Amino acid sequence: MKKIQPEKRAIGVNFNASGEAEILVWAPLVRKVSLVISERNERLELNQEEYGYWQLTTTMLKPGDTYKFLLDDETERPDPASVSQPEGVHGASKAINLKAFKWSDEAWVNPRMQDYIFYELHTGTFTPEGTFAAIEEKLDYLIELGITAIEIMPVAQFPGNRNWGYDGVFPFATQNSYGGAEGLMHLVDACHAKGMAVVLDVVYNHMGPEGNYFNDFGPYFTDKYNTPWGNAINFDDAWCDAVRHYFIENVLMWFRDFHIDALRLDAVHAIKDFSPTHILREIKQHTDALTAITGKKYHLIAETDLNDPRFINPLDKQGYGLDAQWIDEFHHALRVTAGEERSGYYSDFEGINHLAKAYADAYIYNGIYSPHRQKTFGAKTDNEGKQFVVFSQNHDQVGNRMLGERTSTLVSFEMQKLMAAAVLVAPYLPMLFMGEEWSEPHPFLYFTSHTDKDLAEAVRKGRKEEFKAFHAQGEAPDPQSEETFNESKLQWDLSQQGKHAVMLNYYQALTRLRKENKPLSTLNRKNLSVTFDNEQQTLILRRWHESEHVCCVMNFSKQEQMVSLPADADWRLSFSSADEQWGGSSSFTRITEGTVTISPESIIIFVNNHV
């Protein structure tokens, strides 16, 4: 099988130092492959190689030319490894020299994983313009907020101009309406110049439906497994070697050619692979090989709901070696504690006792019976705190609600502040979802812009069917409507107004506190204790580093509560969400003989007078 070279991209169209185009495409079941240059209608025949590859080195194809592959003199298709689709998913591919961009980030050093404070954003709705260039204009704002890493939802080319990004069908091509490959490179370079890392969300568990021409080239999919999106991507069936290499090449391209610092791997629990070396483990091995060449550190972050530490255990412990994972259970427990109705997957979460367990154990279901799943679920983990990403909302948890409501419209102003603090004092990596820091009231809805009318109607009907039990709340918004998309855009003018500005200042203070307080910034899960009172709905989280201790008292009830502080330290008030400067009603906190009176729906943070 072809050997992957971490230092250079092999598949698709690439330009060597001599300016020649090196063309490589995998099409094992066809008899002939040609490349057709659109501008000149010129046809170049490729040479057949081993393992189903077709190859050609030529001076006839230049950067900027558009082209398609002609299969068996019958079927014209865009390049499955295209890096640019200027005319969308059905149009010709554009040849680009990825090495031509002039980078200025040679001195950039990727932050340590434990120093990441994530900010998840969707390029199309983050700004009015919906482009990479417009994100650049907001970088100073994000730095002032305290963000150290932006996490960009998927940018692989999708149909039309409106999509969450999970319907991408060209994993190597950067969405044309966002600014394409050069626009993304420019954004990454700008982020690094300001000291900010860039995380990119990628999808290796399925492909979108429209513009999906992979089957014309070869067996990229297998019917061995059923998935919510149809046949699974072929990671372990006949012909899988080239498919595995395709996705490994994709990982290496983002790191090497786009200078991306970390990849968030979407729903890895939906990747089906029973190979002796799981595809995720192989991705980690090749990422490490790239690090050995470049000297740069790259992070791999999984989204998984399996509560299986194998994903984040190191390679030498037979794990897949991923650096971190999202942990939805913290979110679920926090939301139920804050008043979310226990229905659907929330039915498994009991509230404050499970929130306490999330702080202490990372996984709530860690080998115990799950009533929702009707089975014993998960495993215990002793992995470090820096390996778990927590949040009070994200694109899924907001956008998968029928009306896309953010926390800002579901709970009180005080509860929003408490939930934010609950995330930022956790012994894990915190992530904010765009706009939550100023209590953005606009929803984040599910939206698409399919050009296939039948598919568009199927998506529309599917969305209505999904929420038919919620008809009393109204109709599910039409995903195809441009109004649905526009309604999901952030309202930046609000961030400077009234309580929205207060909330923004509050978030800035919280991120500052986390960075400056050693017990909070040191993600040692062993230096932690947590207690709770179910009747009072209060929780005390205590964390420490050497002689420094911090005590976080949280009150999730709607009444004032009296809570006893740990007696083994001389506590000093450091922060209170109920303070008047944060829009609260209390400018002071009463402490009487080791007992603190805490306002409803609030958090008080104490530090010890350490030597």
Q: Report the alpha-carbon distance of residue 58 to residue 263 in Å, rounded.
A: 33
- Name the CATH superfamily housing domain 512-608: Golgi alpha-mannosidase II (2.60.40.1180)
The predicted-structure confidence for 384-411, as pLDDT tens digits, reads as follows 999 999 999 999 999 989 999 999 999 9
DSSP state of 71: E
Q: Is 397 annotated as a binding residue?
A: yes
Mean pLDDT to the nearest integer, 260-278: 97
Q: Is 328 annotated as a binding residue?
A: yes
CB 52 within 8 A of CB 26: yes
Per-position DSSP letters for 427-487, written without gaps between them? SSEEEEETTGGGT--S--------S-HHHHHHHHHHHHHHTGGGGGG-PPPPTT-HHHHHH
Instruction: Tell me which H or E stretch contains 115.
Output: none
Residues 6+ apart with CB under 8 A from 3: none
Q: Kindly calculate the radius of gyration of the chain based on its CA atoms and give it in whole angstroms.
A: 25
The predicted-structure confidence for 45-84, as pLDDT tens digits, reads as follows 999 999 999 999 999 999 999 999 999 999 999 999 999 9
The predicted-structure confidence for 94-120, as pLDDT tens digits, reads as follows 999 999 999 999 999 999 999 999 999
The predicted-structure confidence for 147-160, as pLDDT tens digits, reads as follows 999 999 999 999 99
Q: Which fold has domain 12-100?
A: Immunoglobulin-like (2.60.40)
User: What residues does each domain of the chain span?
Assistant: 12-100, 512-608
H runs (alpha helix) in 494-537: 498-516, 518-521
Q: Is 491 annotated as a binding residue?
A: no
Confidence class for position 466, pLDDT limits 50, 70, 90: confident
User: Do the two domains 12-100 and 512-608 of this chain adopt the same fold?
Assistant: yes
pLDDT of amino acid 122: 98
3-state secondary structure of 597: strand
Q: Is 329 annotated as a binding residue?
A: yes
Confidence class for position 180, pLDDT limits 50, 70, 90: very high
Q: Is 509 annotated as a binding residue?
A: no
Measured in degrees and rounded to the nearest 5, phi and psi for residue 235 equal -100, -10
The predicted-structure confidence for 217-248, as pLDDT tens digits, reads as follows 999 999 999 888 889 999 999 999 999 999 99
Which structure tokens are listed for 567?
A: 């007696």
Mean pLDDT to the nearest integer, 290-299: 97
Q: Is 265 annotated as a binding residue?
A: yes
Q: Report the alpha-carbon distance of residue 391 to residue 117 in Å, rounded.
A: 11
Does the pLDDT of residue 611 top 60, yes or no? no
Q: What residues act catalytically?
A: 266, 303
Mean pLDDT to the nearest integer, 437-460: 94
Q: Is 398 annotated as a binding residue?
A: yes
pLDDT of amino acid 469: 61
pLDDT of amino acid 587: 58
Cα→Cα distances 124→78, 306, 381, 499, 539, Å: 24, 31, 37, 26, 39
Confidence class for position 500, pLDDT limits 50, 70, 90: very high
